[in-house]
Amino acid sequence: MARSKTNTGQEIKDMFFKFSKVLLELSKDRETSLKRKDYELLLKTVVDNVNFIHSGSVLIKDEEGIFSYVAAYNHDYKLLDKIKFEEREILMRRFKHVYIIKRKSLDLIKELSNKVGEIDENLRESVKSIENVKAFISIPIRVQRKIIGFFNLDSWESEDIFEEKNFLPVAEMIADLLSLSVERFELIRNLKEKYEELNRISLIDPITFLPNAKSLGNYFERYVAIAKRESSNLYLIRVRIENFDDVVKNKGVEFGNVVLKKLAKLLSKISRKSDLIASLRSGSFAILSISKEAPQSLVNRIYEHLETFQKNVGIELESLVGLAEYGKDGKELDLLINASESRTYKKPLPKKQEVRAIDK
């Protein structure tokens, strides 16, 4: 692009206006962070509109603290892509403010050559753009006051050009705009992570760490679909400690929590891996089980282990086990839960007896 001959001060102002507009367009109505093509567009906006700036690049720090080039303009990205910097190499000379690095104060070519190592013959021509650099201005990108990257602008004209053209105040404003944009994306990412974490927490019972009633509802349709696909039946087994509230009243909340934790562990141990166990309210659990026929053996196993369980915890527990079948007792989760509550067993079923819910 042909270099402008207009007044430099006005040229810089016009560039900053265009840069701000481009960054605003890139940042609004999206939740993902700036990508390579976005940074390249921002670099292009500066380079093509300021006559003493000829190339640029963007360094971003990864989770391991390594700075890598993620974008370049008027440089061969394939060359810069090979170059990595450790944090100590960067921050020892670039601080929280805009910083100018001059060719005479740092042997750029030697340093970059050491980083690149053996240059492929196809990239030999690419080195010329780096060799042309007389000075570059390093604009920090900050998130919560920590530097996460640098927006670098190069001049091929002279080492003192950035001071002579009074470019530093504008570079500081560019730093502020970039930092605000990147921090916005970081905030969105953090909020999404916290929301996902909160959502996970809202689906887990905080005492037993089993899925809760809400989670059971989320899984219900999946289990219905699996059962249909496998030409099997879906059953809901309800395990309830009828006197749980009395236990808590007499023994305390902490003791009640211990009972729930141990009971959850017991049910997880004796159920199949494919069964979904959920912790409901007041010492109540639900198990979704897919089976070709009524899970009589599981019902009996639960009851038999509950007999031993109450001896181990040292207190009498009024344990009831109920069973409902999807389709016969309803096709809604609430209907199955209600059906399982009204049909319970107080003793193991005979091994050859068909499992039929007995109305209380």
The more confident residue out of 192 and 286 is 286
Shared domain check, 130 and 222: no
Asked if the structure places residue 55 within a domain, the reply is: yes
Q: Are 215 and 203 in contact (CB under 8 A)?
A: yes
- Between vectors from CA 217 to CA 216 and to CA 220, what angle results, nearest 5°? 85
Shared domain check, 132 and 225: no
| Residues in Cβ contact with 308 at an 8 Å cutoff, skipping those fewer than 6 apart | none
Residue 65 is given by DSSP the state: S
Number of domains the chain is built from: 2
The more confident residue out of 102 and 55 is 55
Shared domain check, 167 and 228: no
Task: Catalogue the long-range contacts made by 33-39 (C-beta closer than 8 Å, 24 or more residues apart).
Answer: 33/182, 33/185, 33/186, 33/189, 34/181, 34/182, 34/185, 36/70, 36/71, 37/71, 38/71, 39/70, 39/71, 39/151
Span 91-132, pLDDT tens digits = 655 555 788 888 765 555 556 656 655 555 555 566 777 778
| Cα distance between residue 269 and residue 290, in whole Å | 17
| Residues in Cβ contact with 146 at an 8 Å cutoff, skipping those fewer than 6 apart | none
Q: Among 152, 168, 198, which residue terminates a domain?
A: 198
- Closest to 270 in 3D by CA, of 262, 282, 279, 258: 262
Shared domain check, 143 and 274: no
Shared domain check, 246 and 149: no
Shared domain check, 228 and 122: no
Asked if the structure places residue 178 within a domain, the reply is: yes
Asked if the structure places residue 286 within a domain, the reply is: yes
Shared domain check, 169 and 72: yes
CB atoms within 10 A of CB 147: 19
pTM of the model: 0.59
Q: Among 168, 198, 228, which residue terminates a domain?
A: 198
Shared domain check, 226 and 187: no
Shared domain check, 237 and 148: no
Shared domain check, 186 and 69: yes
Lowest mean pLDDT among 7-21, 49-63, 223-237, 297-311: 297-311
Lowest mean pLDDT among 79-83, 155-159, 291-295: 79-83
* Residue 244, domain CATH: 3.30.70.270
**Residue 2: its pLDDT value, please?**
45
DSSP run (H or E) holding 310: helix 296-313
Helix residue spans in 108-167 (DSSP H): 108-116, 127-131, 161-164
Residue 277 is given by DSSP the state: E
Domain, as residue range, for 306: 213-345
Q: Are 204 and 168 in contact (CB under 8 A)?
A: no
Taking all residues of the chain, what is their mean pLDDT, rounded to a whole number?
84
Percent of the chain with pLDDT over 90: 50
Residue 186 has pLDDT above 70, yes or no: yes
Residue 208 has pLDDT above 70, yes or no: yes
